[in-house]
Amino acid sequence: MRQKLRDALSATVSTLLEPDERTEATGRARPGHVSVKANLALATASAILSGGSSAMYATKKDIYVVLTDRRLIILEAHWLTFRPTAKVLGALPRPLLVSDVKRGFMTSFVVSATGDPNGLQLSFPRTERPDAEAMLTALGAPAA
């Protein structure tokens, strides 16, 4: 993540932290995944409508993820500037379980609170790989 965004995220998160809570890792990710069938249908339809000059595909909106020593905080990105906002989309308490780690073009993994059968898939773009690895290390996941 660029330093400017990292500073904005630090400033935003500092107002949300409890006393003596400290940040361990931060990053920008995409939650969940988009179906291959949905992308294929959208690309086909857009290619037909544009006469073959362009094709579109669907992606999820980026979110900001902050891992502290007590919880995982998920923040919304501004719709226009993509900078972090103070709107908390969710928070998972520690300890967190990491499963289904995939390292490829995008680094992705699933995090879930202990005892919760549902998890949240976080996908980090290639440019955010150092942030993803720092988060995995802080969560105690096996190294690459």
Model pTM? 0.80
How many domains, the chain?
Answer: 1
Range of the domain at 22: 3-139
CATH number at residue 21: 2.30.29.30
**Is the residue at 70 inside a domain?**
yes
The region that residue 12 occupies, defined by phi over 0 for left and psi between -120 and 50 for alpha, beta otherwise, is: alpha
**Is the residue at 83 inside a domain?**
yes
**Is the residue at 144 inside a domain?**
no
Which pair of structure tokens corresponds to residue 82? 């993509």
Q: What is the mean pLDDT of each run of 10 residues along the chain (144 residues)?
A: 87 93 93 71 80 75 93 92 92 88 90 82 92 92 76
Q: Which residue has the tokens 């993509």?
A: 82
**Is the residue at 72 inside a domain?**
yes
Tens of pLDDT, residue by residue over 86-122, are 999 999 888 888 988 999 888 999 998 877 778 889 9
**Residue 47: what pLDDT?**
82
